[in-house]
Amino acid sequence: MPLDLSAIPIVDHHGHSLLRATGSITSATYPGFFTESGDAEMRARHASQTIFFRWAIKALASYFGCAATTEAVVAARGAMPPDALAARMLGDAGIATLLLDHGYQSSDTYSPAELHARVHLRIAPILRLEALAQDLIVRHETFDAMLEAFGAAVAGARATGYVGLKSIIAYRTGLEVQETPRAAAAAAFAAAKAQARRDGTLRLAIKPLNDHLLLLALDIAARDATPVQIHTGFGDDELDLRGANPLHLRPLITNERYARVPFCLLHAGYPYTRELSYLAAVHANVYMDVGLAVPYLAAGIPAMFRQALTLAPTSKILFSTDAYSIPEMFWLAARWGRWGLGVVLDEMIALGALETTEAIEIARDVLGRNAARVYGLPD
Ligand SMILES: [Zn+2]
């Protein structure tokens, strides 16, 4: 019997908002929420064939009290008003606080205030740097004006309620971030601006500019030790996983300039989980997140926690769901995350490495107290 951690409140330090409109979900489109692939054939044919999806259907069927089929689960969720479904599932997930990155699917999903009105948990926003930069490049004519606005927004983030910053640079130009001369960044701005003018929108992926802006944000974050979340490891099919190994970040992590920046490295770095556990074990400013790995790894979640806990101090591991779009993701991540951590802590107790009371304290740290401390959240 794994340790029962169900009563321990979760601080979900990295999650996304829920879709405004979910009325059109069918049993054919539902598996698409359970894959990181944007490929149509993957979503249509293979997303329903993972252990993750198959197990999720069984867990959700027992939650809804319906048959363990996709059709029955989709019918059961669809029979509830979306707001009631969200309030019930997030309530049952035992998530007390959610740090929300609203830079993903922004217009299709609820704003932090709208989400807070629907689900009864504390919500604090995270500022997504690339989304901010794209918006400012569209709005400003010169590099200097854009850079000044970017710096001001990042410097004012705390005062406007943000509790941390986030970068998805791994998706765009990789984690091998380099010092970039201002002139090179300005030239990249001209290219980005041309793209923005042509398309009316922008997906910023020009390495000198992405790198320059991230380093500027880190300089600002260092002033008041604002946590910076950086996507590492697996993600959707836009990502070149080779460039997403968290080891690429060592020059930043060990740079004196950023010594005070808490680097919250996301997704357990999966599959570079041992590498991330190592970084968290030797660098005071590195924290290891487990989101996305929880719930996606499903039956593999205990193995992930085993690797994380092999080197990283328990004070360095942060729980999150990285859930998005539908409330089921929060519920599954909370349920399987507590389960997987409980399995591994139980092994440590059996081994004689931990007392039961100690294991419970560790679970409280990993599931919430570490994040509360890193982000300076009120009790
Ligand atoms: Zn995320």
pLDDT of residue 200: 86
Q: State in Å: Cα 15 to ligand 1 middle.
A: 6
Q: Please report how the helices 129-139 and 182-199 are oriented relative to each other, as an axis angle in degrees rounded to 10.
A: 70
pLDDT of residue 105: 65
Residues forming beta bridges with residue 97, ordered by sequence position: 11, 122
Q: State in Å: Cα 65 to ligand 1 middle.
A: 30
pLDDT of residue 130: 96
Q: 103 falls in which pLDDT band (50, 70, 90)?
A: confident
Amino acid found at 133 = A
Could you tell me which residues come within 8 angstroms of residue 177 by beta carbon, excluding any fewer than 6 positions away?
169, 210, 211, 214, 215, 248, 249, 251, 252
Q: 219 falls in which pLDDT band (50, 70, 90)?
A: very high
pLDDT tens-digit profile of 145-162? 999 999 999 999 999 999
Q: State in Å: Cα 80 to ligand 1 middle.
A: 27
Q: State in Å: Cα 1 to ligand 1 middle.
A: 32
H/E stretch holding 304: helix 301-311
User: Cα 245 from chain centroid?
Assistant: 16
| Full DSSP string of 201-263 | S-----HHHHHHHHHHHHHHHHHHT--EEE--S--STT--GGGG-GGGGHHHHT-GGGTTS-E
pLDDT of residue 230: 98
pLDDT of residue 378: 83
pLDDT of residue 314: 98
Q: State in Å: Cα 322 to ligand 1 middle.
A: 5
Q: 106 falls in which pLDDT band (50, 70, 90)?
A: confident
